[in-house]
Amino acid sequence: MNMFKPSVIVLALSTALLGCQQDTGPQKDKVTIEKNPYPSTYKPHSTSSTLITNATVLTGTGERIDDADVYIVDGKISQVGKDLAVSADTTVNAAGKWVTPGIIDNHSHLGAYPNPGVESHQDGNEMIHPNTAQVWVEHSVWPQDPGFNRAREGGITSLQILPGSANLFGGRAVTLKNVPSETMQGMKFPEAPYGLKMACGENPKRVYGGQGVAPKTRMGNMAGYREAWIEATEYKRAWEQYDKEYAAGMNPDAPHRDIKLDTLRGVLDGEILIHNHCYKAEEMAMMIDLSKEFGYHAGTFHHGIEAYKIADLLGENGNCAALWPDWWGFKMEAYDMSLENVAIVDAAKNSCAVIHSDSDTTIQRLNHEAAKVMYSANEVGFDIKEEHAIKWITYNAAKSLGIEDLTGSIASGKQADVVIWDQSPFSVYSKAEKVFIDGAKVYDRNDSKYQAVSDFMLGQR
Amino acid sequence: MNKFKLSILTGALLSSSAVFAQVTAITNATVHTLTKQGVLENATVLIENGKITAVNPKSFNADVTVNAQGKVLTPGLIGTMNQLGLVEVGAVSRSVDAYDKSGIEFDPSSAFNPRSSLIPYARKGGLTQNLSIPSLPWGESGVFMGLGFVADLSGEFGSVTDSQSALIVDLGAVSGDGSRAASLQAFAKKLSEQKKKLTSKKDKKDDKDPSAEEKLLTQVLKGDLPVVASASRASQLLELIKLKEQFGLNLIIDGAQDAVLVKDELAKAKVPVIISSVANLPTGFDALHAHLGNAGTLEKAGVNVILNIAGDGSHNVYQMRFNAGIAVANGMTHEGALKAMTVNVADAFGIEGGKIAKGERADVVLWTADPFEFSTRVDKIWINGEQVTTESRHDKLTERYTTDSSMPRGYTK
């Protein structure tokens, strides 16, 4: 049973239909695919205005402004600069403190692999087939994961939740605003595009090869991707043909709906961004070629331990690389670690270096992760300043998620996702003091009123 | 044959360096002695023959003088509870020597690989010694892991200094069919059986030699062999304190995420506690009180705290100093955090070193500044009196891919 008609047959049939002038009666209802069936219900929590004064501001776009003010109105950054002559509902004197855009983690499993990490909570890897592009990780997210609160205390204002890496195609990723909510939809970043998780290398071949099912090897991985994209290409053509014929006044039958191929088609249409777990230089290069073979963009490579070996290639092709500063050695593809990986990738022309966590622990300290890279790189001759390094966990992360026009920097008109740090966030002793999402204070280290507690932790004393 | 010759040669070189022992003086250092002397400014430390021979002598003659120029000198850090030297790549089974089913008497020290690429990398984090422990394959559980051992991180052959430093038992939460009650009973049963054998030994005629396990249990009962028990639930920690008192154990608790609930009892019973300072999530129902402030809270209560790295502590142990900084940012004293990676570890496991004082093992680290800060680097490091490098293959990779060459990268060495 083929789930859709191969395009050649569709074409032939439609030509035949045209020729015979059959089925020209009143058109049946047009079949359309609802692309957003689980829409965001997130609403910014505040419309009051806030003025943060006298801070060291890192804009997230490479600029540092000392003794600067940030003016927030209606959830948006209104002005940034020295001695702003404005009045606000709330003024925060941030003398001696630092202000950055909200930190964005583009690789998290919070909610899908929540704490407590018990058997009942293993909701991140649909390990039943190498291609599970039909699953959406948002349907696994438990908003009460205490990890969301811990991450917010570390300045995380947005984060992408990804399915795990057992499969060649793990499923759809979702980007969230890090606000307390009873529902996933209440956290869902309204305008963020969907992501598709893909995985290279050891994980898929180990999971399926161990079961005697393809892929068993790296070449099997590639064959699996190619077969899927061929199928997706045919599916896309079938729907386009249907839309075209319908628009021409004919009465064609809609192709069979397939939610797995909906996701892959979304990538081919440029609506869904690829997020590819891929460690090794040669594999990333092949994934770029794969994307060219099928006409989509290879997106962001995650965990690219060897990204530094192909920094130029990543820049030329416009790929972001989401990296750890120092994880290594847990498997062969993680062996060739360089402490300067992020910095080397970053130094290439048209680069997009991102620091990610993939961890419920380090997500709380991505500023520290950026500091590790900055200082070790400067030790070997780079000259990276704080105002540049902050990009790795703000603007570049937003770019990787397709939300850089909305958040990720402190600039007029941007969503007011902002962190006030008690000192330079590049010190090991630094802590986020206040966190704002869309201008609303969502965390205050000195005010328990703004310290959310997960339902799970209530009464557990 | 060649390998054999090489080791003889190395042995000869090592002993020759001992014969022609030179005196190294580190001058103008800010020295964290971790003794009653506290922090000494512009201080001089003399090293000879693997030992610290003087701190701030009135005068000295040295073969080598290192002017620290105000940089910070601390004892070398000591890692614990990882598989350093027993694992190269976690997922490559034949590079992992940490697992075995042999139980209490499993001694992995003979598999310690001083040439592991993890070791120079650990030195980058200021580590000079390490307590490596056996573990279990992922997903398996069991009570008796075997023996932990101490090695210095010089990278030299023969760097295991004590092959039987602790008995490692896992008494924590069990998945599958097991109850933690059964784990505790299994351990208590071993101890009482051995105790019975020791007290009734004379009555028996068959004087057969005790087994390896029996010998080890005897050491445990005498308090000579520390026992590291992994457990986190507070009520279970109290059970362990009872066991310590019943059998006279030299008990150390690892994990201990809910230890703050019974901190006074732990302090009173003098049970050192090994924790990860960044553990602050309720990873399970035994860890509902995991918090960034726990290291400081336990310190304040008088518990002998030891800091380590959770998760893949073998590859990530270089991060230990940063975790110490996070502990300090959340309430631990700076000196307490430094002690939690040096003298506290040495005291708990009977390891030489951990302090800068006359007669101590000359494992010292010269840091460019505050050892906990990201901006700080290890400037120089001495293990057993010898200066060693921190360069690892990671540096070589960085160098290869940041060096311009008209040749393919493979030719840049």
CA dist B172 and B230 (Å) reads 6
Name the DSSP letter for residue B232: -
Residue B48, amino acid: E
Residues B66 and B98 in one domain: no
Spell out which residues of chain B touch residue A364, defining contact as CB-CB under 8 Å.
278, 280
Summarize pLDDT for B52-76 with one digit per residue, the tens. Answer: 999 999 999 999 999 999 999 999 9
Q: Per the CB < 8 Å rule, is B394 touching A339?
A: yes
Longest dimension (CA), chain A: 79
Residues B399 and B287 in one domain: no
| Residue B9 included in any domain | no
Q: What is the pLDDT of residue B208?
A: 78
- In A, minimum Cα distance to B276 occurs at A361
CA distances from A323 to A105, A307, A399, A443, B322 (A): 11, 8, 15, 27, 19
Residues B264 and B395 in one domain: no
Report, as an integer, the average pLDDT of A68-72.
98
CA dist B73 and B91 (Å) reads 37
CB contact at 8 A, A360 and A29: no
CB contact at 8 A, B376 and B368: yes
CA distances from A259 to A232, A384, B295 (A): 11, 45, 49
Q: Per the CB < 8 Å rule, is A457 touching B89?
A: no
CA dist A137 and A126 (Å) reads 9
Q: Per the CB < 8 Å rule, is B92 touching A337?
A: no
For the record, the structure tokens of A348 come out as 């290439």
CA dist B226 and B210 (Å) reads 20
Q: With CA atoms as reference, report the closest residue to A294 among A236, A215, A244.
A: A236
pLDDT lower than 70: segments of chain B: 1-20, 201-207
Q: Per the CB < 8 Å rule, is A428 touching B326?
A: yes
CA dist B147 and B163 (Å) reads 8
CATH of the domain at B149: 3.20.20.140
CATH of the domain at B397: 2.30.40.10
- Output the pTM of the full model: 0.93
Q: With CA atoms as reference, report the closest residue to A77 among A437, A442, A450.
A: A437
| Residue B15 included in any domain | no
Residue B239, amino acid: E
- Of the candidates B337, B353, B369, which is a domain's last residue? B353
B364-367 and B378-383: which strand pairing?
A: antiparallel
| Residue B3 included in any domain | no
Residues B127 and B153 in one domain: yes
CA dist A324 and A305 (Å) reads 8
| Residue B262 included in any domain | yes
For the record, the structure tokens of A8 come out as 């050649």
Q: Per the CB < 8 Å rule, is A332 touching B92?
A: yes
Q: What pLDDT band is residue A26 in, cutting at 50, 70 and 90?
A: confident
Residues B358 and B347 in one domain: no
CA dist B180 and B285 (Å) reads 13
Residues B235 and B273 in one domain: yes
CA dist B78 and B148 (Å) reads 14
Summarize pLDDT for A357-386 with one digit per residue, the tens. Answer: 999 999 999 999 999 999 999 999 999 999
Chain B residues with CB under 8 Å of a chain A CB are 87-92, 118, 175, 278-285, 287-288, 310-312, 314-316, 318-319, 322, 325-326, 328-329, 372-375, 377, 394-395, 397-399, 401-402, 409
The residue behind tokens 């990538």 is A267
Q: With CA atoms as reference, report the closest residue to B220 among B194, B185, B183.
A: B194
Residues B229 and B304 in one domain: yes
The residue behind tokens 């704080």 is A386
What ipTM does this complex have?
0.92
Q: What pLDDT band is residue A57 in, cutting at 50, 70 and 90?
A: very high
CA dist B327 and B333 (Å) reads 8
Peptide bond into A252 cis (omega under 30): no
CA dist A172 and A264 (Å) reads 10
Residue partners of A21: CB distance under 8 A and separation at least 6? none
> At A313, is the secondary structure helix, strand, or coil?
helix
Among A146, A328, A340, beta carbon nearest to B282: A146
Q: Per the CB < 8 Å rule, is B373 touching A428?
A: yes
CB-based burial, B46-63: b 16+ in 10 Å, e otherwise: bbbebbbbbbeeeeeebe
Q: What is the pLDDT of residue A61?
A: 97
Residues B67 and B82 in one domain: no
Q: What pLDDT band is residue A22 in, cutting at 50, 70 and 90?
A: very low
Q: What pLDDT band is residue A18 in, cutting at 50, 70 and 90?
A: very low
| Residue B14 included in any domain | no
Range of the domain at B58: 20-76+354-405
| Residue B395 included in any domain | yes
Among B329, B372, B377, beta carbon nearest to A431: B329
Q: Which helix (H) or strand (E) holds A276?
A: strand A273-277
CB contact at 8 A, A418 and A405: no
Report, as an integer, the average pLDDT of A223-245.
98
Q: Give the residue with greater pLDDT, A336 vs B102.
A: A336
The residue length of chain A stands at 461
Residues B378 and B394 in one domain: yes
Residues B42 and B91 in one domain: no
Range list of β-strands (E), B56-98: 64-67, 72-75, 77-82
Among A116, A119, A336, beta carbon nearest to B285: A116
Spell out which residues of chain A touch residue B405, defining contact as CB-CB under 8 Å.
none
| Residue B10 included in any domain | no
| Residue B4 included in any domain | no
Give B327→chain A minimum CA distance, Å: 9
As for how many domains chain B has, the answer is: 2
Q: With CA atoms as reference, report the closest residue to B128 among B79, B94, B162.
A: B79
Q: If you count residue pairs, one on A and one on B, with CB atoms under 8 Å apart, how many are there?
A: 122
Residues B393 and B262 in one domain: no
Residues B70 and B83 in one domain: no
